Chain A
Amino acid sequence: MDLDKFKVHGEPLIYGAMVSIALATIGILVGLTYFKKWGYLWREWLTTVDHKKIGVMYILAALLMLFRGGVDAMMMRLQTAAPEMKFLDAQHYNEVFTTHGLIMILFMAMPFIIGLMNVIIPLQIGARDVAFPRLNAVSFWLFFMGAMLLNISFVIGGSPDAGWSAYFPLASLEFSPTVGNNYYSLALQISGIGTLITGVNFIVTILKMRAPGMTLMKMPMFTWSVLITNVIIVFAFPVLTVALALMMFDRLFGSQFFTMANGGMDMLWANLFWVWGHPEVYIVILPAFGIYSEIIATFSKKNLYGYTSMVFSMVIISLLSFLVWAHHFYTMGQGVMVNSFFSITTMAIAVPTGVKIFNWLFTLRKGRITFTTPMLYTLAFIPIFTIGGVTGVMLAMASADYQYHNTMFLVAHFHYVLIPGAVFAVIAGFHYWFPKVFGFRLNERLGKHAFWWIIISFNVTFFPLFFLGLMGMTRRMYTYSEESGFGPLNMLSFAGAVGLAIGFVILVYNIYWSTRYMPRDTTSDPWDGRTLEWATPSPIPAYNFAIVPNVKTRDAFWAAKQDNVPLFEDKITKIHLPNNTGKPFILGVIFFFLGFFLVFSMWIPAIVAGVGVIIMLAAMSFDRDHGFYVPAEEVIATEKKLRGETV
C-alpha cells in the first residue's frame, strides 16, 4: 500500500482545513468526555429511531454542510473577483466548485428537506411515526456517512475535480487520475442508497398511516409535495445508483462503459446523469413549494387558493421532470427534432409552475398578511423565483441555449431558482417549525436582519452573472484576463457573496441567541397554525399524539379551533413504540469504511468491510424486536405535564 496516495500536497489553505478539522474533532471528543455525554449521545441520538430526532440530526448536518459549501462559494467568488487572481490554482479551484455543487445539492438542500419532512410529515398526517422507523435511522446514517466520506476527500487523497456532473471522459481515470472521483462515486452511492430508502419509507408512511378521515385530497400541501417528491426519488435514484456503479467499475476495475475507446460512450454518462439529475432539482424544489404553501396560508390567515390545481400542477411537474433531461446537452449535435421536443417539454414546466405562483398570489388576496420571518422568506421567494423561472424558459429555447449553455447566465439562472426555491424555503421552514420542535421561537428582530442581508446580497451576487454570461464568460473558469472585461461585475458579485455570508452568520447567531434568551412558549401553537402538527404539545412527546385525531376537513386543526369541530374523540389507550437500536449507526460506520477502502483500492479491508455490511444487514433482518408499549396512565401523565391541563 502506498501512503503517498493519502497526501494532499501543497497549499496553506488545505493545511488550514486539516488543522481546523483536527481541532474541531478533538474539541468534540474532549467536550463529550468532560461533560460525561457519551452515554447521552448514544442513547438519545445515535441509536434513536424517533423521526423527530432523526429529522433534527438531518437538519444539523445540513446546516454544517451549508457552511462548508458556503466557504467553497466564498473561495470561488474571491478567486474570480478580479482578473488573474492568485488565490487558488486551477486544480484547487476545480475541486472547490465540484464539491460546492455536490455539497449544496446533495448534502445541504436534500438532507435539509428530508430533515424537515422527517420532523413534520408524521405530525401533519396525524401519525405516531414513519412506517419503518428503524429503516429511517438506516437512511440517515447512510446519508451522513456518505457526506463525511466526501468531506474527508479534501484532506485525504484529494477531492473530485470534474464538476458536479462529472462528465466522462474527463472524470475517467485517464483524465482525472487522483482518487477524487472515486470519492464521488462512493460517497454519492452510499448517501444515495439512504435517500432511496427514505423515498420508499415516506411513500408508505403517507399512503398508509394517515389519520382516519384524511383522504388524499384532505392532506396538507406540504404532505402532498413530499409524497410526490418521494415518488420522484423512487423513480430517479435507481438511475443514479446504476450510473455510479458503472462509474466505479470504470475507475476501479478498468471496465470501459464511458471511456473513449473500446465501445465506451461518454454521452451515456451524460444521459444517465441527467435522467437522475433533472428530476433531482424537482426533488429539492417541490417540498419547498409545499413549505411555502403552508406558510402563506398560515400568515395570511386563509386556506390555500386553488388546492386542487396546486396538487395537479405538482403531479404534472413531476411527470415532466422526467421528460426534459436532454436540455442539458442541446449542444451535442442531436439535431433539430430532438432539441425541439426537449425544448417544448421544458418550457411546458413553466405552465404548472405559473399556476402555483398565481394561486399563492390569490391566497394572499383578501387575507390578513403578517410579516413574520418565515413569511418574509416566502414573500421574497415569489419575485426572485419568478426571475429564475422566466430565465429558465429562455434557457429552454434550444437555439438560444447555444449561446447560454455553460456560461455564467446558466449559473445565474439556477442560483435564481435553487436559492429562493430551496434555500429560502428550508430557512423559512426552519423558522416556522422551530418552535414546534424546541418549544420556543427564534428571535424575530435578528431573523429580519438576517433576512434583509440575505435577500439583498443574493441579488447583488447573482444578478450580475446574467450579464457576465451574455458577455461570454463561461462557468468554471478559475481565472480570466483583464481584456475580457469580466472584472467589475465579478467584483460586484464577490461583494454580494460577502453580504450573503454576513446574513448566514446572523442567522446562526440567532439560533444561539434564541436558545439562550427567548422565552419558552406555553401555547404549542405560536403562529395560530392550520394543520395537525400544531395540535401536539411542544416539545412533542415520543408518541406524537396521545389520541389519534379524526380528520374531517382540510386544515383540520384550524377547523377544530375555529368551528369547534372535535379533533380528538377517542380515549387514551396504551401506545406502541419501537425500541432504539444501534444497528443502523454501526451499519453506517461500516459503510463508511467500505467506501473509504474502495476509494483507495485497498481490496482486503474492503472485502472485510463488505462482509461486515452483509452481516449487519442479516442481523437487522433477523432481529426479533417488537418494541414496547407506553401504558395509558403514563401517556395521561405526560400529556398533563406538557399541556398543564387535563386531557
Chain B
Amino acid sequence: MKKKGPLYALFLSLLFILPGCSSLSVLNPKGPAARTLSDTIILSILVMAGVLAVVYILYIFVLVKYRAKKSNEGYIPEHEEGNKVLEAIWIIIPIIIVAFLSVVTVKSTHAVENVASEYKDQDPLVIYASSSNWKWHFSYPEEGIETVNYVNIPVHRAVEFRLYSFGTITSFWVPQLAGQKYAMSDMLTELNLSADTVGSYIGKNSNFSGKGFAHMEFETLVMTDKDYQDWVKEVKETAPALTEEEFKGLLAAEVLGRKTYSSTHLTFSPPPGDHSEHMSGNGSEMDMENGGTEHEDNKEIHPSPEPSSQTEFDSVPNPEVDEPLPSSPVEETTN
C-alpha cells in the first residue's frame, strides 16, 4: 500500500497550512465566540492527528514487515489469543483522550452559549432574526427598526439574536462570528454573538429549506458604535414604517433583496414563546431586556407566527395538489 505515506504527509502539511489560510472562514474568526470554536477545532485536529500518526505508523510497520515474500514462504503463523495488557492500553488511552476532549467540549459549549466573558457586563443588543421562505428578517426592538437580508451590528458589543422561523427549520450562521443555531416556528432559540473587528461578514441559512435555499444569504456588517448610531438614526428618519400589509407581502415573496423599515413586525406578529428556559435553565436572565415585555406576555398564550405563514403560502401556486392543505383556522390572527 504505497500511497498511505503520501496521504499522511498531505494531511500533516495541510494541517499546518490551515491556520494561516484565510479563506477557511471557520478558522478565521472575528469575534470571541467564533474564536473559541476555532481554537477548539484546531486543538481537536492536533489531538486527532496524533491518533492518526500512531495508527499509520503501526499500519505501515506491519504491512512492510509481515507481507508475504519468498523468504517466509510456507510460514504458518502461530495461534495468538490476544494480550490483556496491550488491549487494556488501547482502551485506556482513548478513554483519556475522550475524557480530555469532553472537558474541552463542555467548557467551550458553555462559553459560546453565554455572553462572551469580555462583554459580560454589557446589556446585550437584542435582535430578532426570523426566516421566511428564503430570506431573513431582522427586527431591532430597542431601536424600533427592521431590515431584510442584512444586519448591521456595532463592534465590541454583545448581541443576542433570538431566532425563529415563519416556515421550515432554518439555521442561522455567520461562520466568522459564531456557530450556527436553528430557527424554528414553534420556539425561540438564542444565539450570543459579538464582533471585535469592523467589517462585512457573510451569513447564511445552513439548514436545507427547499428550492431557494442556496440563495438564502445575508450580509452582517460590523460597524463602529458611531456609525451604527448614525445608521439607526438615518433609518428612523428615512425608511418607511412596516405595516402588517407590507409584512404579509414580504412573507409571501420567495427571494428578496435588501429592505429597511422604521418599525418592526414584532408588534403585530409576535415571536413564539421561549422554550429554552425549561430546556436548559440558562435562559432566565433574558427577561429583563427590551422586547422582553411582549415576550413575557406571549409565554402565557403561546402564540405562533403561524397565521402569517398560512397567508404566505396562499400565494404559492401548487397545481399538483388537489387535496386541501391540512389547514388550521387561519384568520384567528393576532390580538
A positions within 8 Å CB-CB of B: 2, 4-5, 90-91, 94, 158, 161-163, 167, 169-170, 172-179, 250, 254-256, 259-262, 265-267, 300-303, 305-309, 329, 331-340, 343-344, 347-348, 350-351, 354-355, 357-359, 361-362, 364-371, 376, 379-380, 382-383, 386-387, 390-391, 393-394, 396-407, 455-456, 459, 467, 469-472, 474-480, 485, 562, 601
Which chain B residues border A94 with CB–CB below 8 Å? 208, 210-211
Known contacts A261-B306, A403-B37, A406-B207; decide if A368 and B68 are in contact (CB<8 Å).
Answer: yes
Compute how far the CA of A355 lies from the CA of B89 in the bound complex, rounded to whole angstroms. 9
Count contacts on B: residues with CB < 8 A to the other chain: 113
Most A C-beta atoms less than 10 A away, residue of B4, B36, B210, B275: B210
- Do A170 and B169 touch across chains, with their CB atoms under 8 A apart? yes
- Do A170 and B209 touch across chains, with their CB atoms under 8 A apart? yes
- Do B186 and A351 touch across chains, with their CB atoms under 8 A apart? no
Given contacts A337-B281, A474-B205, 17 further A-B contacts (CB under 8 A): A94-B208, A174-B326, A178-B321, A333-B181, A333-B182, A335-B281, A364-B66, A366-B66, A367-B66, A367-B77, A383-B59, A387-B11, A393-B98, A393-B101, A403-B180, A475-B208, A601-B323
Q: Does B267 contact A (CB under 8 A)?
A: no
- Do A261 and B304 touch across chains, with their CB atoms under 8 A apart? yes
| Of B26, B78, B185, the contact of A260 (CB 8 Å cutoff) | B185
Q: Does B271 contact A (CB under 8 A)?
A: no
Q: Does B110 contact A (CB under 8 A)?
A: yes
Q: Does B81 contact A (CB under 8 A)?
A: yes
| Of A305, A402, A601, the contact of B178 (CB 8 Å cutoff) | A402
Which chain A residues border B52 with CB–CB below 8 Å? 386-387, 390
Q: Determine the residue in chain A with the shortest Cβ distance to B181.
A: A331
Q: Does B288 contact A (CB under 8 A)?
A: no
Compute how far the CA of A7 lies from the CA of B308 in the bound complex, rounded to whole angstroms. 32
| Of B77, B80, B309, the contact of A368 (CB 8 Å cutoff) | B77
Which chain B residues border A163 with CB–CB below 8 Å? 208
Which chain A residues border B321 with CB–CB below 8 Å? 173, 177-178
22 contacts between A and B (CB under 8 A): A2-B322, A90-B212, A94-B210, A167-B208, A254-B324, A256-B328, A260-B167, A260-B186, A265-B186, A332-B184, A367-B66, A383-B7, A386-B55, A387-B11, A391-B48, A393-B98, A397-B40, A399-B111, A400-B105, A472-B175, A477-B213, A478-B213
- Do B208 and A406 touch across chains, with their CB atoms under 8 A apart? yes
Q: Does B109 contact A (CB under 8 A)?
A: yes
The contact string, 1 if C-beta is below 8 Å from chain A, for chain B 96-116, is 011001101110111111000
> Would you give the shortest CB distance from A467 to chain B, in whole angstroms?
7
> Would you give the shortest CB distance from B77 to chain A, in whole angstroms?
5
- Do A300 and B66 touch across chains, with their CB atoms under 8 A apart? yes
Q: Determine the residue in chain A with the shortest Cβ distance to B186.
A: A260
Compute how far the CA of A154 lies from the CA of B98 in the bound complex, rounded to whole angstroms. 44
| Of A158, A359, A400, A404, the contact of B108 (CB 8 Å cutoff) | A400
Which chain A residues border B37 with CB–CB below 8 Å? 399-400, 402-403
Compute how far the CA of A335 lies from the CA of B324 in the bound complex, rounded to whole angstroms. 38
> Would you give the shortest CB distance from B258 to chain A, in whole angstroms?
16
Q: Does B226 contact A (CB under 8 A)?
A: no
Which chain A residues border B235 with CB–CB below 8 Å? none
Most B C-beta atoms less than 10 A away, residue of A91, A368, A387, A391: A368
| Of B1, B38, B184, B313, the contact of A379 (CB 8 Å cutoff) | B1
